[in-house]
Amino acid sequence: MLMQTTLYDKLWDSHAVHSEEDGTTLLYIDRHLVHEVTSPQAFDGLKLAGRKVWRINANLAVADHNVPTTDRSQGIEDPVSRLQVDTLDKNCAEHGINEFKMNDPRQGIVHVIGPEQGATLPGMTLVCGDSHTSTHGALACLAFGIGTSEVEHVLATQTLIARKARNMLVNIEGPLPRGVSSKDLSLAFIGQIGTAGGTGYAIEYAGSTVRALSMEARMTLCNMSIEAGARAGMIAADDTTINYVRGRPFAPQGPMWDHAVNYWRTLKSDPGSKFDRVVEIDARTVKPQVTWGTSPEMVVAVDGRVPDPEKEKDASRREGMERALKYMGLEPNAPIQNIRVDKVFIGSCTNSRIEDLRAAAAYVQGKRIASNIRLALVVPGSGLVKREAEREGLDRIFRDAGFEWREPGCSMCLGMNDDKLAAGERSASTSNRNFEGRQGAGSRTHLVSPAMAAAAAIAGHFVDVRTWR
């Protein structure tokens, strides 16, 4: 009798080149995405050892972390950032790697452009020197973030030395309430299992809620897997997946398309597959989420209050909460909707796709940002997302409301360019990490969905988008 296997098992097994007795496996990598921050030392290592790139056309490169989101006609002003981007250009030219340069209309955040170009395909193994590579698992592939030594390893051998993770199923059932997005699902899930809850697991998201999500929404869900501690998150292939991939520049065409689709249809867990852990979520009970602390697990619903450390029995958790509240400048028990924000950031590999911008624009149309908002930024995930948004007139809606409409990149998610919070400044941000200093030294980040960020910009504080008008 055949064993029922999970999607993760199938993807893993079909890429195992060689296995050692202890389970260490040489895993074949189909696609490697490269960006400027985690690759220079890898290319250097390659050169030092006199090694070549194993399969050049498996790689696709783009600069995203350091690039300015303002006028790019004069290049990059910061000499340190410029050197890093120049180094990527030089390394790609030297090895013949396909790179979307800063002024290419296809340039954008690496996790936005992969799927957008069809460079991310179902059934692949895909890696990138960035932890949010889990995003791509939305297309039924095994995608995970790696460090620089592993980047070098993939460049040199087209494989990685890896050990299989355990299987976790996150089963989400029921219709999503109005005003609630996959970002809220994700934050609620992380609040439930904690930022280390998924450590050592590969997550598969399934259930009626997930099947009804668009590809963009699925990418948001998989993107945040790493914030739950899981290196990879994935979703079975279905019509939504296949329709999304169809016609994209790197996708197969003609008879090969049909051949590929036949295979992709098999990319799902067999009924009755065994998972090491199962988490059930009832989507109908999920509310818009707002993080209050310095870890994504420090999250409450928008109609809630800042938690009170005094009610926490575990001493180490209590200390963590106290430290977070002090850093965030928040009082215990304060209603979340009383928190006023200084800056609003709509962007990042989590929430910068066209659907995210549409969701945000719906709350902005015909309004103005509140007087206490010092800066409200919209940073599209790619040049093509930007172009599409402009075609739909979303840029006008944002600009008319007082938002700045920028060029694509990682931007204020991590502030490697000029887009930062000053010390003590508070943001409503659609990004993925609220760590201390993440958006600038002393920055205070509240993670929210695009709709929640947009509404906070207009109201000047957090509001419940389910009822706010």
Partner 1 sequence: MEKFTVHTGVVCPMDRANVDTDAIIPKQFLKSIKRTGFGPNLFDAWRYLDVGEPDKENAGRPLNRDFVLNQPRYKGASILIARKNFGCGSSREHAPWALADYGFRAVIAPSFGDIFFTNSFKTGFLPIVLSDLQLDHIFHACAAFPGYRLTIDLPQQTVNLPDGKAFNFEIDPFRKYCMVNGLDDIGLTLRHAEKITAFEIKRKLEQPWLFGNHAS
Nearest approach in angstroms of CB 403 to partner 1 is 24
| Binding residues for partner 1 restricted to 187-206, rule: CB under 8 A | 195-196, 199-200
Instruction: Find the length of the chain.
Output: 469
Binds partner 1 (CB under 8 A): choice among 107, 120, 159, 431: 159
Q: Which of 245, 464, 437, 251 is closest to 337 using CA atoms?
A: 464
Nearest approach in angstroms of CB 128 to partner 1 is 8
- Contact call for residues 128 and 35 (beta carbons, < 8 A): yes
* DSSP H or E run through 404: strand 404-405
Q: Which of 138, 158, 128 is closest to 58 using CA atoms?
A: 158
- Contact call for residues 15 and 27 (beta carbons, < 8 A): yes
| Cα–Cα dist 100/106, whole Å | 6
| Count of CB atoms situated within 10 Å of the CB of 334 | 14
| Binding residues for partner 1 restricted to 316-355, rule: CB under 8 A | 316-317, 320, 323
- Contact call for residues 468 and 345 (beta carbons, < 8 A): no
Nearest approach in angstroms of CB 354 to partner 1 is 20
Alpha helices in 49-196 (DSSP H): 79-95, 110-117, 148-157, 182-193
| Binding residues for partner 1 restricted to 128-157, rule: CB under 8 A | 129-131, 133, 145-150, 152-153, 156-157
Q: Does 266 bind partner 1 (CB under 8 A)?
A: no
Nearest approach in angstroms of CB 321 to partner 1 is 11
| Cα–Cα dist 25/104, whole Å | 38
Q: Does 240 bind partner 1 (CB under 8 A)?
A: no
| Binding residues for partner 1 restricted to 426-465, rule: CB under 8 A | 433, 435-438, 441-442
Nearest approach in angstroms of CB 8 to partner 1 is 14
Task: Quote the tokens at residue 313.
Answer: 């029995």
| Cα–Cα dist 327/258, whole Å | 54
Q: Does 5 bind partner 1 (CB under 8 A)?
A: no
Q: Which is nearer to partner 1, 254 or 271 (CB)?
A: 254
| Binding residues for partner 1 restricted to 376-415, rule: CB under 8 A | 414-415
Q: Which is nearer to partner 1, 286 or 414 (CB)?
A: 414
Q: Which of 139, 134, 145 is closest to 168 using CA atoms?
A: 134
Alpha helices in 246-382 (DSSP H): 254-264, 315-328, 354-364
Nearest approach in angstroms of CB 242 to partner 1 is 13
| Cα–Cα dist 319/148, whole Å | 34
431: CB partners within 8 A, 6+ apart: 345, 347, 348, 350, 351, 412, 413, 414, 439, 445, 447
Binds partner 1 (CB under 8 A): choice among 301, 330, 416, 456: 416
Long-range pairs for 259-262: beta carbons < 8 A, 24 or more residues apart: 260/121, 260/122
Provide the terminal-to-terminal Cα distance of the chain, rounded to the nearest Å: 58
Site string for partner 1, 12-31 (x = CB under 8 A): -----xx-x-xxx-x-x-xx
Binds partner 1 (CB under 8 A): choice among 33, 62, 110, 124: 124
- Contact call for residues 411 and 377 (beta carbons, < 8 A): yes
| Binding residues for partner 1 restricted to 63-122, rule: CB under 8 A | 65-66, 80-81, 83-84, 87, 98, 117-118, 121
Q: Which is nearer to partner 1, 66 or 351 (CB)?
A: 66
- Contact call for residues 237 and 11 (beta carbons, < 8 A): no
Q: Which is nearer to partner 1, 249 or 329 (CB)?
A: 249
Q: Pick the stretch among 171-179, 180-188, 259-267, 269-277 that binds partner 1 (CB under 8 A).
A: 259-267
Nearest approach in angstroms of CB 340 to partner 1 is 24
> Measured over all CA atoms, what is the biggest interatomic distance in the chain, rounded to whole angstroms?
67
Q: Pick the stretch among 243-251, 272-280, 343-351, 363-371 that binds partner 1 (CB under 8 A).
A: 243-251
Q: Pick the stretch among 213-221, 225-233, 275-283, 450-458 that binds partner 1 (CB under 8 A).
A: 225-233
Nearest approach in angstroms of CB 254 to partner 1 is 9
- Contact call for residues 307 and 321 (beta carbons, < 8 A): yes
Nearest approach in angstroms of CB 145 to partner 1 is 4
| Binding residues for partner 1 restricted to 29-48, rule: CB under 8 A | 30-31, 37-38, 40-41, 44
Size of the site for partner 1 (CB under 8 A): 86
DSSP letter assigned to residue 421: P
Nearest approach in angstroms of CB 59 to partner 1 is 10
